[in-house]
Structures are given as C-alpha cells and as structure tokens.
Amino acid sequence: MNYLLISLLGLLLTACQTTNHQPLPVWVSNPQISNEAFYAIGEGVSLKEAQANAKQELAAQLLSHVSSELNVLAIQDADFNREYVEKRTQAHFNKIALPAVEIRKQQKVGNSFFAQAVLNKNTLKPYLNDSLDQQLNQIKALLNEAKRHPNAFDRWWFLNQHQTNIDHFADQSLIYNSLFLPKKKENTTLIQAFFRLKTKARQSLKLKIKDNTPIKGLEAETESQLAKYKVAIDDSWFNKSSTLSFRVASDSSKLQGEYYCLSTLTITLTSQQGQTLATYSISERGVSVSSSSKAKQSSYRKLLKQLKKTDILETLKNS
C-alpha cells in the first residue's frame, strides 16, 4: 500500500514537471546562421531586458570578428594594448553606434522572455562607410593639430583628450575591414599614427611642479603619482614647461568654543604657453578646541589624505 502511494506521488510530480516545462522555440534553441546577417538571441526577466541582451550579443559577435584585424595594425606598444586592446570588451562594443537593429522575434517561455535581434550586413556596410568617411578628415586634422603642440607633455595631453574619438574611429574601421572589401587601409594608417605619436610623446614627459601651499607632503605625493605615468619633474628655472600648480585657500571660524577651518586645494594644469588645460578643487574641514591654526593644520592633513586616494592626472583629465 505504501509502495503504491509513493509510486502514485512520483507519477504526479513527474506529470506536474512535464506540464510546467515549455519547450524553447527552434529560433532560440537553434539560432539562425547566415552570411547576409548577424542573428543574436537575448534572454531576460522582461521583454525589454531580453531585447537589450540580444543587442549585447550582437556586439559580442562583432567583437569576435575584429580580432584578426588587430594583427594588421601591428602596433607593438604598451599604450596601445592598455588603452585600446584591453578595453575591447563586450561592454565597450555595446556603445558602438550601429544602424537600426531589428527585433524580429520575441516570445515568453515560462517565466523568461526571449528576443531575436537581426543586423543585416547590407545595412551595416553603407552605414559604416558613411560614418567613417565623415570622421576621416576630423582624424587627420586631430593628428595635424597634435603635431603642432610644442612639447611632449602638451602633445600627449591633447591626444589623451581625444582618445574617445580615435577609439570610435578604430572600432568602426576594424569592424568594416574584418567584414567588407576593399579594406580601408588609410584608416589603419591613421590609427597607427595616433598611437605611435602618443607613444613617442609619452617617452619624454616632463612637468614643473609649483607648490604654493604649506601642506607638508603634498609635493612628495605629487611626484610619486607622476612617476606612475613616467612623468619626469622639470626643475629648471629657465625653460618653459607644462606646469602642475597647487594653491590653497582657507576660511576660519569659531563656534561655541570650537575652531573650524574650511580649506580648498585647487590643482591646475597649464601648457607650456600658459594655457589652462584643466583644473579641479577639493575641500576639507578641520576642527580644533584649542586654536584656529590647529584647525587649519587638521584641514591640510585631510586634504593630503584625500589627494592620496585620487589619481591627480586622471581627475584632471575628467574634469
């Protein structure tokens, strides 16, 4: 009797599992492959998420196609590998502007949603061709302007500021050259020229440091951070150089027997010609029960502590 009951329960559970399980549609379980288009499947807890994931999968497919084209660039350089090759992740390629991607099929199966995204190569080729033609003269002008900068640091900084432009141009050029003929060889030459120019500039970076503050340890911290970028310190008095300068302003007050001091440290990067390239400020408040000078020193220590947690050049770059 017990054996019969257990057997019946087992059959009942099996029947429930079979009823709840819905087979996946063929276009999901066996994604379509074609020479005329890219097909990608996305899954999500909502239709919107499934569609987004399908488009991400398309980006990943494009990513896989451009690997061989990187060998054509033949740039044996640490900057290029770090600043472009290593950033070529799926997330990076998701940001590439693409022509309209068609969501051709979508379906809910159980608690999941599925979507099929399709990108026709006949649509992709003219889109990339037009986009690259529009960018071509801009990239040429960018390189010509970079060469006019008088010293290595200013040139390197300028190229850094336009890294996003060259990344986008390189992304689309690599995709085009990996899929279509004739290849855009001039684009490859321009990408090579950008990274070689940047590498050459980086090999001789120099900066003056002007520390106009009484903050102890600030200059040593700055030199330590610059060393990570292989930036040498220019101690000469007679040569004009790009300059990293520091100044601090403090505002003291007393409230209910306690001394307060709000100090603001301003960091400014100027070119060899004296043009402000970037600037940013950080602030800290110091407190003391004994004197305003101790409150000020407290704020200075906090400023230095905050500075140690940041990358000065990266913060300036993004300011």
pLDDT mean across residues, the chain: 87
The reply to whether 213 and 301 lie within a common domain is yes
Tens of pLDDT along 204-233?
999 999 999 999 999 999 999 999 999 999
CATH code at 31? Answer: 3.10.28.20
pLDDT of residue 78: 60
The reply to whether 211 and 136 lie within a common domain is no
Q: Which of 146, 169, 202 is the last residue of a domain?
A: 202
Express as a percent the part of the chain with pLDDT over 90.
71
The reply to whether 173 and 223 lie within a common domain is no
* Inside any domain, residue 22: no
The reply to whether 215 and 296 lie within a common domain is yes
In order, the DSSP letters of the chain are -HHHHHHHHHHHHHHHHHHH--PPPHHHHS----SSEEEEEEEESSHHHHHHHHHHHHHHHHHHHSHHHHHHH----HHHHHHTGGG-SHHHHHTS--SPPEEEEEEEETTEEEEEEEEEHHHHHHHHHHHHHHHHHHHHHHHHHHHTSSSHHHHHHHHHHTHHHHHHHHHHHHHHHHHSSS--HHHHHHHHHHHHHHHHHHTT-EEEEEE-S--TTHHHHHHHHHHHTTPEE---SSS---EEEEEEEEEEEEETTEEEEEEEEEEEEE-TTS-EEEEEEEEEEEEESS-HHHHHHHHHHHHHHHHHTS-HHHHHHH-
The reply to whether 104 and 182 lie within a common domain is no
* Inside any domain, residue 130: yes
Name the residue range of residue 62's domain.
27-121
Domain total of the chain: 3
The reply to whether 144 and 223 lie within a common domain is no
* Inside any domain, residue 3: no
Residue 85 has pLDDT above 80, yes or no: no
Stretch 224-246: mean pLDDT, rounded?
92
CATH code at 242? Answer: 3.30.160.150
The reply to whether 294 and 212 lie within a common domain is yes
CATH code at 192? Answer: 1.20.58
Stretch 88-110: mean pLDDT, rounded?
75
